[in-house]
Amino acid sequence: MIDASQHQEEFPPDSLTTLRHGHSVSDEKFDRIFSGNSRSLSSRHWTPMKVALWAAKLLGTGPDVRVLDVGCGPGKFCFIGEATTSASYFGIEQRLHFVEEAERIRLAHNISRANFIHGNMIDLDWRDFHAFYLFNPFLENVTGLARIDQTVALSLEHYNTYVDCVVEKLRAMPLGTRVVTYHGFGGAMPEGYIMRQKKAIGTAYLDLWVKEDSALHEPLQKILDRFE
């Protein structure tokens, strides 16, 4: 006969619980939360654990913070952020099958502060969020090697439209908006965003940008000129 208490002790708690308790989890172990297809895409397309932990910290950890993961796949970054901060996470994803998978995981694990939206990030009002995470989401439009699958239309035209759209959406955000990029997003940050951290991590850089009052960053010479 199986002794229930012994049985429980023999099995380690799941990855989300481990993270919630402040312990790290390997990518290999965390990715067991996903289906075989998503697991096989993880090392190339989903944010690695150590990068996600840093990015979540940089985006803001308080209970009032609403973070948008632009192109969230099956939710890896959102799940890690939710488990390790008090912020609320939202992921928008154009591929329905990833959103359905993220939703299944969310429900199965009673994850309360991660939410998933099916759609194109172009159609979403970004002003509902305070902070944005971009892991080079549009790259597969321009490199055949990084293609996830054939379920969405991909082209150089899409790439240029998406990159321009991100720049315009970020330009319209209020002061205090935080943006973290991993491998960039393909464009240049609009005026007003100051790079507050650049960290070499994983296979690239994690950059933190904060929209600040540009008057506070006027070149010294310009300020001195006013007193002449």
Ligand X SMILES: C[S@@+](CC[C@H](N)C(=O)[O-])C[C@H]1O[C@@H](n2cnc3c(N)ncnc32)[C@H](O)[C@@H]1O
User: Number of helices (H) and strands (E), helices first, in the chain?
Assistant: 9, 7
State the nearest-atom distance from the C-beta of 197 to ligand X, in Å.
18
Site for ligand X (CB under 6 A): which residue of 15, 85, 94, 177? 94
What distance in Å separates the CA atoms of residue 38 and residue 148, rounded to the nearest whole number?
10
In the region spanning residues 199 to 218, those forming contacts with ligand X, defined by CB under 6 A, are none
Site for ligand X (CB under 6 A): which residue of 34, 90, 116, 162? 162
Residues 8 and 1: beta-carbon distance below 8 Å:
no
Binding of ligand X at residue 35 (CB under 6 A)? no
For the chain, what is the largest distance between any 2 Cα atoms, rounded to a whole number of angstroms? Answer: 90
Binding of ligand X at residue 121 (CB under 6 A)? yes
Site for ligand X (CB under 6 A): which residue of 25, 53, 68, 73? 73
DSSP letter at 228 equals: -
Residues 192 and 217: beta-carbon distance below 8 Å:
no
Q: Which is nearer to ligand X, 101 or 177 (CB)?
A: 101
Per the listing, tokens 């312990």 go with 23
Binding of ligand X at residue 93 (CB under 6 A)? yes
Q: Which residues, including other chains, have CB under 8 Å from residue 36's CB and lie 6 or more apart?
A: none
State the nearest-atom distance from the C-beta of 38 to ligand X, in Å.
10
Per the listing, tokens 């650049």 go with 198
What does residue 16 show for φ and ψ, rounded to 5 degrees? -65, -40
Binding of ligand X at residue 72 (CB under 6 A)? yes
In a 3-state reduction of DSSP, which class is residue 197? strand
Contact range with ligand X by CB under 6 A, out of 1-9, 92-100, 185-193, 220-228: 92-100
Q: Which is nearer to ligand X, 61 or 120 (CB)?
A: 120
Binding of ligand X at residue 59 (CB under 6 A)? no
Site for ligand X (CB under 6 A): which residue of 95, 97, 104, 199? 95
Site for ligand X (CB under 6 A): which residue of 60, 71, 81, 186? 71
Q: How long, in residues, is the chain?
A: 228
Binding of ligand X at residue 77 (CB under 6 A)? yes
State the nearest-atom distance from the C-beta of 24 to ligand X, in Å.
17
Going by their DSSP bridges, the two strands 178-182 and 204-211 should be labelled as antiparallel
State the nearest-atom distance from the C-beta of 82 to ligand X, in Å.
13
Nearest residue to 122 (alpha-carbon basis) of 88, 147, 157, 149: 157
* Contact footprint for ligand X (CB under 6 A): 45-47, 69, 71-73, 76-77, 92-95, 98, 120-122, 135-138, 148, 162
